Amino acid sequence: MSTRIRESRGQEMVLTAAVAIVIVLLSLLPMLRLIKEIVAPGGTLSTVAIKAGLASPATWIATWHTLVVGIGGTLLAVLSGTLVAVLVTLTDIRARSAMVLCYVMPLMIAPQVTALAWLQLFGPASPFLKLFGAAPPLGTRNPLYSTSGIILLLGVQYGPLVFLLVRAGLRKLPRELIEAARAGGAGWFTMLVTIVLPLMTPSIMAAAALAFVSCVGNFGIPAFLGIPANYLVLPTLIYQKLAGGGPAVLGETAFLSVLIGIIAMAGILAQEIMSRRRDYRISSTSLAAEPYELGRWRPAVQAGMWLLIIVVLFLPLFGLVLTSLVPGYGIALTAKTATFDNYRFVLFEHDAASRAFFNSFWLSIAAAFFAVLVAVPIGYLIAWGKQRWVRLLNLSVELPYALPGVVLAIASLLMFLRPIPLTGIQLYNTVWIILYAYLARFLVLALRPTISGYHQIDRALEEAAQVAGAGLFTRMRTIIFPLVAPAAIAGGLLIFMTALSELTVSALLWSSGSETIGVVMFSFEQGGDSNYAAAMSVITVAVTFVLMLVTNLLAPYLPTGVLPWRD
């Protein structure tokens, strides 16, 4: 008997050990290295770095700013994302597929591209406003250089993130629950407030936590909108200090990053507590609810939705395209001045740009693939594991994403500055250090939806396989993976789209030959070549869009729910 007992525990032990190793390598090691840097810079214990950080008023101002834009951006994202998810999923609104596709697009556009696009739209040099002769005179301050500008763009950027998670939850809602409420006399709106939204609490909470973590750690938007207004948040403060002080201020920036880590953790903890207060698991499988008939309100609701989409997607992109066609700053766009020179330049005349496209593509694919494979077992241990310590896993995987990319980049630099002990392998100055940072940073993007997926699966499905004689690995492969695959692969797609034009991590880790799309775009913009940056942005957006369409062709062969923007 004892051998049979040992056998059955063996697979569980192997799984747990493998998960532990991955998490130690990707989360704990960089985190520890970072903490060592602030408590023991140079190898001896000292509080110099902490004291210097606390004494600086800049720290407190930036912390306050971070909280303001983080909470503001999250609220805006949750409100808009949830509203759109409910309208699109539960009503008989028309052209749903197109709407979903368009609304989700901003998420797949890098924050710095969003910032660039909106700035081009409203700035004094705006080719768009110049079309109507409505551009303010050169030298006028751009209205987006403000707190509300940052909050607005964060909300626009992360609303789709909330939308995706809430929509995924809504689609799994069995129609009986809605029908039972309608039969119980609840009007559609009452049913929404008393049944749907409460049941969606885990999804909404998870989405809110993710949006908060993203807003707080966002670099591109506050960098483009805040720095000109001298409105610094923690990530931009860190970036400025590093850019100005170099390795000498590593300790100080490490302190600031721990601070931001604490803010993000508070958000995640709040989510954990909120969603554990009740059991929201939905065990039955059922068809989706019949869409609610909007009746005479339908044209108005549709018009509102499309107006929203035009404002958050088409206008900024239009501005971006116009800028990419302008030969130089401030020049009005006419049929005569319009040129494709900017495109020709970034595609054929600039070596780094073409290398960047190649690098970014394979880095994103590798990161997404790995994350999906790892998220399924980690999610299993977190969602269904019996050991209490496993719940801490969730937090430790969140950390590399909660910390701004700048910080993980610093941690990676600190870790790999010298060759890896015992092996002598040198990651520094190669593309592999970027891959490492991507894996560590984006794992959570696949893990969150996977855990949500687990929470909505009836565990009896696994138990049924267990009594059928399937060991843990067999169950993983044949039952658990197929069941959580939609959620996990959706997470993988998010990772791919996020990583493709990622900037903050690669900005600090790139070396000649390992440029990414974001890095090349950023250096154009920094050099004042907004037109080149715009051209690269347009290409990236176009590639992403084409990629989505191509993936759509595969949809019939994929389980439903894998492609978030498809019905």
Applying CB under 8 A, which residues contact another protein?
A: 1-2, 4-5, 7-9, 283-285, 287, 458, 460-461, 463-471, 474, 478-479, 482-483, 559
* Of residues 128, 146, 135, 86, the one with CA closest to residue 311: 128
Q: From the CB of 15, what's the least distance to another protein, in Å?
A: 14
Kindly list the distances between the CA atom of residue 261 and the CA atoms of 41, 358, 393, 395, in Å, as whole numbers in the listed order.
Answer: 19, 32, 16, 11
Residue 387: φ, ψ to 5° = -70, 135
Q: Which residue lies nearer to another protein by CB, 415 or 480?
A: 480
Residue whose token pair is 């067999």: 474
Kindly list the distances between the CA atom of residue 449 and the CA atoms of 140, 268, 379, in Å, as whole numbers in the listed order.
Answer: 44, 15, 9
Q: From the CB of 5, what's the least distance to another protein, in Å?
A: 4
* Of residues 266, 256, 69, 39, the one with CA closest to residue 154: 69
Separation CA 155–CA 311 (nearest Å):
13
* Of residues 144, 167, 143, the one with CA closest to residue 81: 167
Q: From the CB of 352, what's the least distance to another protein, in Å?
A: 45
Q: Which residue lies nearer to another protein by CB, 47 or 285?
A: 285
Q: Convert 310-357 into a string of H (helix), E (strand) and C (coil).
A: HHHHHHHHHHHHHHHHCCCCCCCCCCCCCCCHHHHHHHHHCHHHHHHH
Q: From the CB of 201, what's the least distance to another protein, in Å?
A: 23
Q: From the CB of 479, what's the least distance to another protein, in Å?
A: 6
- CA-based end-to-end distance of the chain: 51
Q: Which residue lies nearer to another protein by CB, 476 or 541?
A: 476
Q: From the CB of 93, what's the least distance to another protein, in Å?
A: 25
Q: How many CB atoms lie within 10 A of CB 539?
A: 18
Q: Which residue lies nearer to another protein by CB, 67 or 470?
A: 470
Q: From the CB of 174, what's the least distance to another protein, in Å?
A: 11
Long-range contacts of 523-529 (CB under 8 A, 24+ apart): 524/346, 525/112, 525/116, 528/329
Q: Which residue lies nearer to another protein by CB, 8 or 190?
A: 8
In b/e form, how buried is each residue of 186-203, taking b as 16+ CB within 10 angstroms?
Answer: bebeebbeebbeebbebb
Q: From the CB of 386, what's the least distance to another protein, in Å?
A: 10
Q: From the CB of 6, what's the least distance to another protein, in Å?
A: 9
Q: From the CB of 36, what's the least distance to another protein, in Å?
A: 39
Residue whose token pair is 């694919």: 365
Q: Which residue lies nearer to another protein by CB, 9 or 278?
A: 9
Q: Which residue lies nearer to another protein by CB, 244 or 469?
A: 469
The three-state secondary structure class of 437 is helix
Q: Which residue lies nearer to another protein by CB, 355 or 391?
A: 391
Q: Enumerate the H helices of 111-219 as residue ranges.
A: 111-122, 127-131, 147-171, 175-183, 188-191, 197-199, 201-217
Alpha carbon 505 to chain centroid, angstroms: 13
Q: Which residue lies nearer to another protein by CB, 176 or 293?
A: 176
Q: Which residue lies nearer to another protein by CB, 4 or 296?
A: 4
Q: Are 173 and 253 in contact (CB under 8 A)?
A: no
Q: Which residue lies nearer to another protein by CB, 201 or 474?
A: 474
